[in-house]
Structures are given as C-alpha cells and as structure tokens.
C-alpha cells in the first residue's frame, strides 16, 4: 500500500483519543506498520527532531486541510 497524503500537507486529526481531536499538524514523515499499513508522523512544519513528532496515525484519522 502507498501513502496518499504527501509530506508537508496540513491535516486535522480525528482520533479516538480526545486529546488529539481537532489538532492541526503537518505530515512530517511516512512510516509503515508491521503489517505494511501506511502510517503518518505529524508535527510542526519544518521540524526535524523526531522526539517532537506524533507517530502512527492511519489515513482514516486524518483530514486534509486546503
């Protein structure tokens, strides 16, 4: 499976965890789950420090902001 949201895209998170609902961040990296499912790392645009990113978001929990 391929990633459908490009790096640098602004997205809004809708997650089962209430503390992430509605937060808007940029896609900062593409990753894969152990079964090959595409996952997204999110963070502040231009941020490269991995400890400041949120990892493991599936495409179903992200909405592209135009």
The pLDDT of residue 31 is 93
Q: Is 66 a residue whose pLDDT tops 80?
A: yes
Structural domain contains residue 22: yes
Is the per-residue pLDDT at 48 higher than 90?
no
The parent domain of residue 45 ranges over: 10-64
The tally of domains found in the chain comes to 1
Task: Look at residue 4 and tell me if it is in a domain.
Answer: no
5 lies in some domain: no
For 18-40, write each residue's pLDDT tens digit: 677 888 999 999 999 999 999 99
Query: 2 lies in a domain?
Result: no
The pTM of this model reads 0.83
For residue 3, is it within any domain? Answer: no
Whether 1 is covered by a domain: the verdict is no
User: Using an 8 Å Cβ cutoff, are 27 and 41 in contact?
Assistant: yes
To the nearest 10°, the Cα dihedral for 50, 33, 56, 26? 70
pLDDT at 51 (0 to 100): 60
CA geometry: angle 42, 34, 54, nearest 5 deg: 15
């Amino acid at each position: 499976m391929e990633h459908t949201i490009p790096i640098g895209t602004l997205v809004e998170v809708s997650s089962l965890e209430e503390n992430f609902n509605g937060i808007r961040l940029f896609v900062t990296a593409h990753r894969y789950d152990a079964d090959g499912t595409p996952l997204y790392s999110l963070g502040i645009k231009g941020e490269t420090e991995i400890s400041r990113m949120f990892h493991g978001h599936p495409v179903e929990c992200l909405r592209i902001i135009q």
